[in-house]
Structure 1
Amino acid sequence: MKRFLPLLLFFHVSLSVKHTLTYFLTTSTGQKTLPEFVGVATLDGVNVGFCDGINRTEIRSDWMEEVKEKHPELITWHIQTCVETHNFNEKHLKNIHQFFDQTEGVHTLQELVGCEFDDQTDLYTGFDFYGYDGAGFVSLDPKRMTWTYTERAEPYKHQWDPDEAQLRSSRDIIRTICPKWLKVYLLYGKKSLQRKVPPSVSVLQKSPSSPISCFATGFYPNRADMFWRRDGEQTHEDVDHGEILPNPDGTFQMRVHLDLSSVTAQDWSRYECVFRGSGAESDIVTRLDQAVIRSNEVPPSSLVLAVVIGAVVLLLTVGIAGIFMWRRRRQAAAY
């Protein structure tokens, strides 16, 4: 079956050396409250496009309206391929169910596919990872153009390998289609991509006995660091760093937790939170003081939004996190 990249390509890029265009595709069975297929497009971590494989699509960047006007054939093509990929992955998921005798319950087949552009070397590299039920399953070796399998997927390789059409399609996506449209969107989104927005930084605590969180939101681009200092020196003791996550408006958020359960109130003034990089011209330093702490027992809606579309966040986040971890391990092993 001929298969193409399944999303409306709506992208939002940061001014980093490398720009990554990624598609998160989730096909599920046994879910009564969520769509059977969901596709989310991101560029450098920003959620910029959505389709459900049936009729619904969403544009998530203002500058994409110009692309839609000047390249209507592109939009039409991606709507069609979203439907085609829904059908393709649904068939594959059912085959995996039957092979492993797992026809009952909730199961998901997720794909993380895309390409990365290095604007210093002008080189593109592609990737295509599949996960089953939230764990790594099959991945494409972009140099050899062959599939590699996790131990869990090894018994299924004889079912997957013979599908030459799928291999050709993945090759076309990562070598031709993804780089082509990435160039287009980098061109149209240039003005938006060059902006710099500093964060709003808050100190939050759910309850008097909970860890204290330094929370930064609304910043762009997504190249930033945040940490706690004690007596002017960065401290790693009792500190937990969160991931940089996208906001629905195209900006980013991050947080870093500090457990002060063993620190006396008199010593709180020795600590300060530091946000560094991204849209901030200089470090943003927030000294720890009881007066600046806000309660987040009912967290702002922005704290629970990542690469989401409504209730789909629960389905996407668990599985994609597993695939991302698997991808990072594979990349680390390659060096």
Structure 2
Amino acid sequence: MQKSDAFFSLVKHSLKWITTGISGKTNLPEFVVTASMDNVDLWHCDSTKRELEPKQEWTRKLFKERPELLQFHLQRCLFNQQFFKAHMDVFKQRLNQTEGSHILQRIGGCEWDDESDELKGFEQYGYDGEDFISLDLKTGTWVAPKTQAVVIKHSWDADKERIKQIQHMLMSECPKSLQDHMPYWRSFLQRTERPSVSFLQKTPSSPVCCHATGFYPDRADLFWRKDGEEIHEGVEKGQTLPNHDGTFQMSSELNVSLIKHEDWRRYDCVFQLSGLTEDIVSMLDKTQIQTNWVSPSEFPVGPVVGGAAGVVLLLVISGVLYCCWRNRNDFQPVDDGLEKEETSSEGSKASQEEFSLAENS
């Protein structure tokens, strides 16, 4: 397989499906499936919309060229919804839970190292936000870190045929599907996307945050200058973090507490991106700073609070919070095939079909 320049930064590639089921009365869909490649969302399906939503331009292109794949994934999503509901019932039964809302999740997929050609598969389940049970592919047995999962472990260990099917899916079908997607994925990696750059500030006495988001690739730099010279004193640079759409964001804060108002225009924020010939330069200007702070004397009352102030808050708060810090959890415990013992063979078939992306995808 040939590699582009942008491709060299990615040695390991992964393809995975995250399935979530929710019991009880909530405002959330009862069933959700998200497919991702290298931690970038490919498509989404849930029990509320009952549609398959491509999340990337290249997946839209793939489904447009191969509409049968769109229908295949949609049918699998709807088909597995019923099995996942049965899985949830089994968990609640075994844990003696009759009331309340509970979350059952499954993450399954594979990882391929394109240098060593090493393959790894993973099949993990979680319940109510905690790791519950996972499959050890080498021994062909289930691992139960929770004592409550031991009874399910014994039941699943006895189903040798299902374990063999999962091993085949993870170590054969999933890697093939991953490599089938590579031509489209490579074009996705070769793109260059310019960011939007904003100035954010929590309060008038807080540092000013220069926030760039929506750029690709992640080979970028963001720094402050004074009179055209890069400065480091009073500057705190943040990490480059991924967005859900495969782009990136980063920030850099400048302590403006000791800067005279008339000197603000001597400062600017510079964003540099691999693939762009020109820098993106933003001059520090108080009128361009976004904030959700309102002085007590100007604070609106009554309905205005929920209107004007609320709109400003929604527009700015995500960027402001990023400049404070943002945690990203890639894996939440997940599930695939919790079936009742009398439906284990059908559950195995459903699990196998969910992983298959079609031979000619």
Alpha-carbon distance in structure 2 between the residues aligned to 1:224 and 1:135: 36
Give the drift of 1:207. Answer: 3.4
Alignment equivalent of 1:246, drawn from 244, 247, 252: 244
Partner of 1:36: 30
Partner of 2:118: 123
User: In 2, are the aligned partners of 1:211 and 1:257 still within 8 Å (CA)?
Assistant: no
How do 1:61-80 and structure 2 match up within 5 A? 61-64=56-59, 67-68=62-63, 71=66, 74-80=69-75
User: In 1, are the aligned partners of 2:234 and 2:255 still within 8 Å (CA)?
Assistant: no
Letter in 1 for 2:38: D
Letter in 2 for 1:29: S
Q: Which digits, 9 at most, give the CA deviation of each residue in 1:120-156, with x for residues without a partner?
A: 2333322222221122222333433433233xx2331
Alpha-carbon distance in structure 2 between the residues aligned to 1:301 and 1:168: 50
Structure holding more helix per residue: 2
Residue 22 in 1 paired to residue 16 in 2? Answer: yes
Higher relative contact order (CA 8 A, sep 6+): 2
Partner of 2:148: 155
Alpha-carbon distance in structure 2 between the residues aligned to 1:29 and 1:87: 13
**Is there any run of 5+ residues in structure 2 with no aligned partner, and where?**
1-5, 293-311, 320-326, 335-361
Partner of 1:194: 190
Alpha-carbon distance in structure 1 between the residues aligned to 2:20 and 2:99: 18
Partner of 2:133: 138
Q: Which digits, 9 at most, give the CA deviation of each residue in 1:296-321, with x for residues without a partner?
A: 643449959xxxxxxxxxxxxx9x93
Partner of 1:47: 41
Q: Which digits, 9 at most, give the CA deviation of each residue in 1:242-271, with x for residues without a partner?
A: 742223xxx42424475959x534599799
User: In 2, are the aligned partners of 1:197 and 1:278 still within 8 Å (CA)?
Assistant: no
Partner of 1:5: none
Alpha-carbon distance in structure 2 between the residues aligned to 1:162 and 1:96: 12
Give the drift of 1:219. Answer: 1.4
Alpha-carbon distance in structure 1 between the residues aligned to 2:273 and 2:162: 41
Partner of 1:298: 313
Letter in 2 for 1:119: D
**Is there any run of 5+ residues in structure 1 with no aligned partner, and where?**
1-13, 305-317, 327-335
Letter in 2 for 1:33: N
User: In 2, are the aligned partners of 1:113 and 1:127 still within 8 Å (CA)?
Assistant: yes
Alpha-carbon distance in structure 2 between the residues aligned to 1:141 and 1:227: 46
Give the drift of 1:99. Answer: 2.4
Letter in 1 for 2:290: R
Report the 3-state secondary structure (helix = DSSP H, G, I; strand = E; otherwise coil) of the residue aligned with 2:96: coil
Percentage of pairs with the same residue: 35
Alpha-carbon distance in structure 2 between the residues aligned to 1:31 and 1:159: 26
Partner of 2:357: none
Letter in 1 for 2:125: Y
Q: CA RMSD in A?
A: 4.1
User: In 1, are the aligned partners of 2:220 and 2:274 still within 8 Å (CA)?
Assistant: yes
Give the drift of 1:37. Answer: 0.5
How do 1:248-287 and structure 2 match up within 5 A? 251-256=246-251, 258=253, 260=255, 263-265=257-259
User: In 1, are the aligned partners of 2:267 and 2:283 still within 8 Å (CA)?
Assistant: yes
Give the drift of 1:26. Answer: 0.7
Give the drift of 1:100. Answer: 2.3
Between 273-282 and 209-218, the greater mean CA deviation after superposition = 273-282
Report the CA distance shift for 1:22/1:279 in structure 2 as closer, same or farther (over 3 A). Answer: farther
Report the 3-state secondary structure (helix = DSSP H, G, I; strand = E; otherwise coil) of the residue aligned with 1:101: coil
Report the 3-state secondary structure (helix = DSSP H, G, I; strand = E; otherwise coil) of the residue aligned with 1:162: helix
TM-score (norm 2): 0.64
Report the 3-state secondary structure (helix = DSSP H, G, I; strand = E; otherwise coil) of the residue aligned with 1:105: coil
Give the drift of 1:273. Answer: 6.3
Partner of 2:163: 167
